Structure formats: structure tokens, C-alpha cells
């Protein structure tokens, strides 16, 4: 149930009726007609801009349309009052039974309240994390992992068929570096001094890989040329790195549906196929690039190379797909990979990347536009940095010795729930400050705690109600008499609950899971506010001594809020707390 789309439906229907009666001209475009919560609650429960939007095409005064619309809508039993205001807004006051209906819907639909059909079952692929398999995941990856996972859950809730996917960059030069680094650790495991030369990965995490290599190969790889061991060691090490990454993701409760390998694209002809497909469209050619505008690199020299005509789809320059030694650039297999995603039938693609990959956006969009004939949209979400703090002081990581703050460090200190929530309380393209002390603070100043506490309070009310012998099953509450819920503070909470389905659709349309976090904070705030009103005015307490019927209606309201908090936290991947300890 989505109250806003219901009322919008009533508005559009009334407008259609006005058209039939000749009050409005035929063929008006209604898409711009919106029904929204007004900024100022004094303006009513909902407001529509219909009269202002239609005034010009209908060649009528906005207020005249609004008056006529108001007259029609007043006949709707759900609408208690419709009044024209300002430049032509139509403010609607809904009857109390509407809010009672919302509470019943939340209790009846439970975890599915707010679920939308917006996506209409379209297949969406969300590619995220995609960290190189050369070491443990660090803080930056953590934010991308949390964002991608929550976005996927949000889109699922909004009616899309979502696939969570990880692209393993196991085909480039960096995994050779990994292999050489692991080989040195293998030598170390055999009692030799490792030579961790400049450019190799120095981290301790490769020591167990070296030992495992010794276990598998004994000393047979010692004193052998690289050509003998490189492939085996590379495969072995990347497999170990991926196992480690999967464990890291599991710590954050992130689960992928599909792992795709870059390396697996080689030798299948998929890269050649994708490139030839583009060549057939005239999108691939041999040519010489202009030097970058402005500052020309020192070592720049004109060179003929194989180029992708990304400028045809809005990029600034065409992009090379082959290196000078004839091998593919990173871009080529990535084109093939995205081609593969298109061929697998996805209606929409989303890539979640670090902000340092911003320069990559236009060419990848160009490639997908070309390969799908413009039919499959690709949205690329860039994730900004996470700056770590401890007690207000920047948290320094020592780059020396290859140690950096890992995902595991963060989760072990802050916990998965806190890490996830905090990382989702900022828009993806804003830098995020993460203070280890502040995020663990148990006070209302900490949004994580604040929302968790709201849910715990609802659970607490339910537990106490049971002790009082009140039936508090969702079915019991849904069938309770809710007509006593008329106090402004109670209606405000109901109003906020009614906004949930609308919020889900807005967040999903924009691929912005942070909106869920902010909404939950507001909902928690309304619940806490109502709770606190009980200090002054005992008639507002959820539990009323010696009045089970009234208690039941108030508990229904609290429980409805709890249902939404639980569902929202579910999308964010955060466990709703039963109690605070």
C-alpha cells in the first residue's frame, strides 16, 4: 500500500472527470502532477501541484482549476478537507481513518510493507567491490561493499530482479606481481631470505600463502626460472586472495551472487568478439591520439594504436584498447565483460566504483551504449573516500611494511551493524568521516544507536504488554479499534510511516540507499518524540493501565513503526536490536 500513489490516483481520476465534463481540455499530460508531503505540516497532509502544472497547457487560471479540483476531491471519503493555497497549491487534509488504514497495512503486510512494483521485475546487475585479488580489503573497499549491498537490497525491495556481482581483476599485470611476491614468501618458507623488491607486495598476509605453497610444492619450485612457476603460483595465490576477500565480505554480511573472472575471458574469444562487434559498427579503428590538452606528458610521442571511438557517445577522447606490446589494455576485457552482462539479458547495469575511477565513467558508458544499441542503461556510482578518525584525531595508517587499515580492522572494532549504518548515512559522492569512538557511543547523538534504540523500545513495549495480558500479535493489533489514535503526535508518527513506500521508490529511482538511513532517523525521532510526550502527558503512553483496548491501539501504532524500522534496517543490512544493553 502506497498512500501517496493512491491519492495521486484520486487526483488524476478527478482531473479526468473534469476533462470529460469539459472543465479541462482533452489530451493534457498528467505526468508532472505530483502529490507530496508539504514542507510545512500546517499546510495539511498532502499537497498537489496539479493546478499550477496544468494551468498553462489548459489555458486556465491555476486557482480556477484548483477550486474545481477541490470540489471533486471533497467527495472522496478519504479527503477531509481540500483547500487552495498560495500560487495554486491544493492542500489536502486526510481523514483519521486513512491513517488507521496505514497502520493496519503496515501490520498486515509486515516486512513487505513498502515493497514496490516500480522495477516490474526488470533484471538489474549491480557490480560492486571488484577489489583486485592482491590483498585484503581496506576501508575504501568497505564503503563500496556496503553501498553496493544496500543498493542491491533496495532495488530488490523496489521490485527489481537483482544480481550482485564481483568482477575479479585476475588477468592483468598486478596478479603477476602478486605471484612474484608470493614466490618470495615461498622461498622464505623454505628457509631462504625473501627479496621483497620495490614494486612487490610486502604485506605479511602473503606469508601463509608462501607456507601453503611449500606444503603443496615442497622445494621443487626453488631455483627455477619464473617461466616454470609463474602460472601455477599466480593461480594459487589469486585463489587464496579471493578466499580471503570472501571471508572479509562475510564479516560484513555481504554475499555475492556471481563472481566473474577477467582471466576467464581470455582465450574464450569473448574479448575479440566484443571488439569485433564494435569494429563492425565502426567504433574501433587504428589511429593516433592527440596529446592530452593542456599539460603534455614529458614522454609523449604520437603512436598509432587500436582505439575505441568513445567520443561518439560523449567521451572526450577515443580510448586505446591495446597496449604497444599488442596485449589488451584493462579496458578491452572490461568491454567484453560488460558486453557479457548485456548478453545475459540485464535490463539495467550499475557499477559501483571508487571515486578515483571517475575518469573511466564516460568510456564505459560509451561502450555499453554501443554494445546494447543504447537499450541498456549503465549507471556508475562513484564512492568517495573514507577518512578514519579516533577520538577526533585523524587515524594514521602506516604505509610502511604494507600495513593499512583493513576491512577486518574496521569491523572488528566497530562491528558490522555500526560499520554498515554509518557508511550509509552519507551520500555516495560525499567524503565520509568515520570516527571509531563516535560510532560506538551509546547516546542519542549517535544515529546508529538512536535508530536501534527506537526499535528496541517498540520491542520493550510489546514485551510489557504481554505481561499485562494484552494480545499483541500483528493480527490482533491490525484488527484492534484504532479510532482513538487522533492526537497530533500520534498522527505525525502515522504520517511518517505512510511515507515509507514513497521513500523506497524515490531512493530506488535515484540509486541512493542513504535516503533510507536518513528516513529511519526521522522515523526514530518521531517515535522517540511520542515516547517522550508520555512523560508529560500520561495519556500518550503506549501502555495504559487498566485500559487494554486503548493500549492495544497505541501499541499497534508503535508496532507499525517498528515494522518499518525493521524493514528499513533490513535493506541497510543492519540487525534491528531487541533490546539495548
User: Does 415 interact with RNA (rule: CB under 7 A)?
Assistant: no
Nearer to RNA, 376 or 577 (CB): 577
Subset of residues 428 to 487 that bind RNA, contact rule: CB under 7 A: 429-433, 442-445, 453, 456
Q: Which residues contact 262 (CB under 8 A, 6 or more apart)?
A: 167, 168, 169, 170, 171, 172, 333, 334, 337
Nearer to RNA, 191 or 293 (CB): 293
The binding track of 287-326 with respect to RNA, each residue x by CB under 7 A or -, is: -xx--xxxx-x-xxxxx-x----------x---x--xxx-
Per DSSP, the residues of 515-530 read HHHHHHHHHHHHHHHH
3-state secondary structure of 441: coil
Q: Which stretch binds RNA (CB under 7 A): 79-87, 369-377, 495-503, 568-576?
A: 79-87
* Least distance CB 385 / RNA (angstroms): 7
User: Does 357 interact with RNA (rule: CB under 7 A)?
Assistant: yes
Q: Which residues contact 66 (CB under 8 A, 6 or more apart)?
A: 50, 51, 84, 88, 89, 90
Give the DSSP letter of residue 362.
Answer: H
Distance, CA of 335 to CA of 317 (rounded, Å): 17
* Least distance CB 236 / RNA (angstroms): 19
C-alpha cell at 158: 523496489
Distance, CA of 287 to CA of 308 (rounded, Å): 10
User: Which one of residues 214, 270, 309, 426 is an interface residue with RNA (CB under 7 A)?
Assistant: 426
Q: Which stretch binds RNA (CB under 7 A): 107-115, 179-187, 250-258, 359-367?
A: 359-367
Subset of residues 112 to 151 that bind RNA, contact rule: CB under 7 A: 132
User: Does 396 interact with RNA (rule: CB under 7 A)?
Assistant: no
User: Does 361 interact with RNA (rule: CB under 7 A)?
Assistant: yes
Subset of residues 505 to 564 that bind RNA, contact rule: CB under 7 A: 512, 514-515, 518, 521, 525, 528-529, 531-532, 534-535, 538, 540-543
User: Does 49 interact with RNA (rule: CB under 7 A)?
Assistant: yes
Q: Which stretch binds RNA (CB under 7 A): 11-19, 85-93, 471-479, 565-573?
A: 85-93
User: Does 96 interact with RNA (rule: CB under 7 A)?
Assistant: no
Question: With contacts defined by CB under 7 A, how many residues of the chain interact with RNA?
Answer: 87
User: Which one of residues 149, 165, 184, 262 is an interface residue with RNA (CB under 7 A)?
Assistant: 262
User: Does 171 interact with RNA (rule: CB under 7 A)?
Assistant: yes
3-state secondary structure of 563: helix
Distance, CA of 210 to CA of 225 (rounded, Å): 17
Distance, CA of 2 to CA of 113 (rounded, Å): 9
Distance, CA of 155 to CA of 490 (rounded, Å): 31
Task: Characterize 530-552 residue by residue with b for buried, 16 or more Cβ atoms within 10 angstroms of its Cβ, and e for exposed.
Answer: bbebeeeeeebbbbbeeebebbb
User: Does 85 interact with RNA (rule: CB under 7 A)?
Assistant: yes
Where is 433: in which H helix or E strand?
strand 432-435
* Least distance CB 468 / RNA (angstroms): 12
Amino acid at each position: 500500500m502506497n498512500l501517496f500513489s493512491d491519492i495521486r490516483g484520486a487526483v488524476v481520476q478527478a482531473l479526468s472527470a473534469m476533462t470529460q465534463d469539459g472543465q479541462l481540455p482533452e489530451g493534457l499530460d498528467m505526468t508532472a502532477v505530483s502529490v507530496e508531503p508539504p514542507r510545512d505540516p500546517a499546510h495539511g497532509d498532502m499537497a498537489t501541484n496539479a493546478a499550477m502544472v496544468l494551468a498553462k497547457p489548459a489555458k486556465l487560471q491555476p486557482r480556477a482549476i484548483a477550486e474545481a479540483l477541490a470540489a471533486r476531491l471533497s467527495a472522496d471519503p478519504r479527503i477531509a478537507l481540500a483547500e487552495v493555497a498560495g500560487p495554486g497549491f491544493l492542500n489536502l487534509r486526510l481523514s483519521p481513518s486513512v491513517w488507521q488504514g496505514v497502520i493496519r497495512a503496515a501490520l498486515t503486510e509486515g516486512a513487505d510493507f513498502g515493497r514496490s512494483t516500480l522495477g516490474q521485475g526488470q533484471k538489474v546487475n549491480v557490480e560492486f567491490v571488484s577489489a583486485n585479488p592482491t590483498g585484503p580489503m581496506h576501508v575504501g573497499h568497505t564503503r563500496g561493499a556496503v553501498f553496493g549491498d544496500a543498493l542491491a537490497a533496495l532495488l530488490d525491495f523496489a521490485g527489481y530482479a537483482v544480481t550482485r556481482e564481483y568482477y575479479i581483476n585476475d588477468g592483468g599485470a598486478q596478479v603477476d606481481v602478486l605471484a612474484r611476491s608470493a614466490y618470495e614468501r615461498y622461498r622464505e618458507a623454505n628457509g631462504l631470505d625473501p627479496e621483497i623488491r620495490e614494486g612487490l607486495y610486502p604485506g605479511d598476509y602473503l606469508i601463509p600463502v608462501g607456507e601453503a605453497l611449500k606444503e603443496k610444492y615442497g622445494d621443487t619450485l626453488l631455483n627455477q626460472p619464473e617461466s616454470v612457476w609463474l602460472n601455477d603460483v599466480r593461480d594459487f595465490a589469486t585463489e587464496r586472495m579471493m578466499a580471503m576477500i570472501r571471508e572479509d565480505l562475510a564479516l560484513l554480511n555481504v554475499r555475492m551472487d556471481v563472481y566473474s573472472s577477467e582471466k576467464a575471458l581470455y582465450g574464450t574469444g569473448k574479448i575479440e568478439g566484443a571488439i569485433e562487434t564494435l569494429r563492425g559498427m565502426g567504433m574501433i579503428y587504428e589511429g593516433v591520439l592527440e596529446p592530452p590538452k593542456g599539460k603534455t606528458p614529458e614522454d609523449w610521442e604520437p603512436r598509432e594504436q587500436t582505439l575505441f571511438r568513445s567520443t561518439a557517445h560523449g567521451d572526450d577522447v577515443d580510448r586505446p584498447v591495446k597496449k604497444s606490446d599488442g596485449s589488451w589494455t584493462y579496458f578491452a576485457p572490461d568491454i567484453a565483460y560488460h558486453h557479457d552482462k548485456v548478453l545475459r539479458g540485464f535490463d539495467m547495469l550499475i557499477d559501483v566504483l571508487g571515486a578515483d575511477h571517475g575518469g573511466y565513467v564516460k568510456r564505459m558508458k560509451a561502450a555499453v551504449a554501443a554494445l546494447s544499441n543504447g537499450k541498456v542503461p549503465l549507471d556508475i556510482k562513484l564512492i568517495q573516500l573514507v577518512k578514519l578518525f579516533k577520538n577526533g584525531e585523524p587515524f594514521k595508517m602506516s604505509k610502511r611494511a604494507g600495513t593499512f587499515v583493513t576491512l577486518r580492522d574496521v569491523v572488528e572494532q566497530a562491528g558490522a551493524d555500526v560499520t554498515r549504518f554509518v557508511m550509509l548515512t552519507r551520500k555516495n559522492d560525499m567524503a565520509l568521516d568515520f570516527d571509531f569512538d563516535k560510532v560506538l557511543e551509546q547516546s542519542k547523538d549517535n544515529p546508529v544507536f538512536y535508530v536501534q534504540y527506537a526499535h528496541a523500545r517498540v520491542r520493550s513495549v510489546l514485551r510489557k504488554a504481554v505481561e499485562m495480558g494484552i494480545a499483541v500479535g500483528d493480527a490482533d493489533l491490525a484488527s484492534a479499534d484504532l479510532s482513538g489514535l487522533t492526537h497530533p503526535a500520534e498522527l505525525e508518527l502515522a504520517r511518517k510511516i505512510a511515507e515509507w513506500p514513497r521513500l523506497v521508490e524515490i531512493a530506488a529511482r535515484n540509486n541512493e540507499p542513504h535516503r533510507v538511513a536518513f528516513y529511519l532517523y526521522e522515523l526514530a525521532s518521531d517515535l522517540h518524540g511520542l515516547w517522550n510526550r508520555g512523560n508529560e502527558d500520561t495519556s500518550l503512553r503506549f501502555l495504559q493501565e487498566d485500559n487494554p483496548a486503548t493500549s492495544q491501539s497505541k501499541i499497534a501504532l508503535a508496532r507499525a513503526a517498528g515494522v518499518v524500522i525493521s524493514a528499513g534496517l533490513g535493506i541497510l543490512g543492519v540487525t534491528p536490536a531487541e533490546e539495548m544493553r
